[in-house]
A and B are shown apart, each in its own frame.
Chain A
Amino acid sequence: MKFMQIDDTDRRILRQLQAAPDALPRDLAERAGVTPATFTRRMEKMREARILRGAREDIHWPALGYAVEVSLRFSLDKTDPRAFDDFIAAARLVPEVIGIQTFLGRVDVRLLVIARDMGHYQSVYRERILTLPHISDIEALVNVATIKSETSVPL
């Protein structure tokens, strides 16, 4: 089953699940206004259709001693057709890179980089980031505070 049309009941269940991923199934069922049996059946169907792909734990890096988070925005030298592939393959090998995104817009690629402190960041930046291939420009945004962080969508 590849394509599945979700209905209002599914949507209510997903809304509750997004709002409280840790909650017990019977509580989620109650909040969504369905019986536990319906809840289980609907969840199973959405899992089979791969609409619901599972859950993951987000790591809180400061608790592991990584206090610095920087978003590095790259423009790549697009005259080389291998620029994106080479750059991304090399960026994957840097342990401090925790996310890679590609864009349509002024920014080509963004790397999310974490470091223990500014000294550590500086050495990662010099030794591992500036040495990545095909860079034509870099801009840094240092994360001061995360005001909101959700994966929910307005269903």
Chain B
Amino acid sequence: MIDLDDIDRHFLRALSRDASLSAGALARQVGINQSVAWRRVKRLRDAGVFAGRRVELDLDALGFTVTVFLGIKLATKGLVSLDDFERAVRAIPEVQIVQHTLGLFDYRLRVVARDLPDFERVLRRRIMTLPGVGNVEANILLSEERLTGPI
């Protein structure tokens, strides 16, 4: 596990808001040399602190107005059915997130759709037909905020 000082934390917070910040821009924010800032960001990157860059799009403007979280309970269990399910579910383009969970549901899915009829199409044709799928609970996302977290 990597140790962080205040400058590292500042860089993490800054980059988790705006990934396009250059080493120069980061360096100016904290008043250090640009090459030092570059080395610090590289150290963070090498330690695997960044999970990946995410492009932020205006989904409404692109015609995707509905996001739904699905809790899925499998009807049949066993290693084979988990593999089949996971392979099939990750191939669905409308499914953004798939998490294997412990608790009320076996899987948690984040699904985007153009509107409610489009969501119904995805649900009926793609989700309900997944191998082994049992109970499905849907919750429509109304608002979402991302917080910096403990850094």
| Residues of chain A having any CB pair with chain B under 8 Å | 3-4, 6, 14, 17-18, 21-22, 49-61, 63-66, 71, 92, 95-107, 110, 114, 139-155
Q: Does B50 sit within 8 A of A, measured CB to CB? A: yes
Given A58-B53, A101-B143, output 12 extra A-B contacts at Cβ < 8 Å: A51-B62, A53-B58, A57-B16, A57-B53, A59-B12, A59-B151, A60-B48, A66-B150, A100-B144, A104-B140, A110-B139, A142-B101
Contact in complex: B51, A142 (CB < 8 Å): no
Contact in complex: B55, A148 (CB < 8 Å): no
Q: Complex Cα distance A102/B139, Å?
A: 9
Q: Does B38 sit within 8 A of A, measured CB to CB? A: no
- The chain B residue with its CB closest to the CB of A149 is B97
Q: Does B121 sit within 8 A of A, measured CB to CB? A: no
Contacts A61-B149, A105-B139 hold; do A56 and B17 have CB atoms under 8 A apart?
Answer: yes
Q: Which of B49, B69, B94 lies in contact with A103, CB distance below 8 A?
A: B69
Q: Does B1 sit within 8 A of A, measured CB to CB? A: yes
* Nearest CB in chain A: distance from B101 CB, A: 4
Q: Does B125 sit within 8 A of A, measured CB to CB? A: no
- The chain B residue with its CB closest to the CB of A2 is B61
Contacts A54-B18, A148-B90 hold; do A153 and B144 have CB atoms under 8 A apart?
Answer: no
Which range contains the number of B residues in contact with the other chain? Answer: 35 or more
Contact in complex: A153, B99 (CB < 8 Å): no
Q: Which of A55, A99, A148, A155 lies in contact with B54, CB distance below 8 A?
A: A55
- The chain B residue with its CB closest to the CB of A23 is B53
Could you pull out 17 A-B pairs where Cβ atoms are within 8 angstroms?
Answer: A21-B19, A50-B58, A54-B56, A56-B16, A58-B54, A64-B151, A71-B99, A71-B101, A101-B144, A104-B139, A104-B142, A139-B104, A141-B102, A144-B100, A145-B100, A149-B52, A154-B112
- The chain A residue with its CB closest to the CB of B137 is A106
Q: Complex Cα distance A100/B12, Å?
A: 20
Contact in complex: B104, A49 (CB < 8 Å): no
- B94-125 interface mask toward A, CB cutoff 8 Å, 1 = contact, 0 = none? 11111111111101100010000000000000
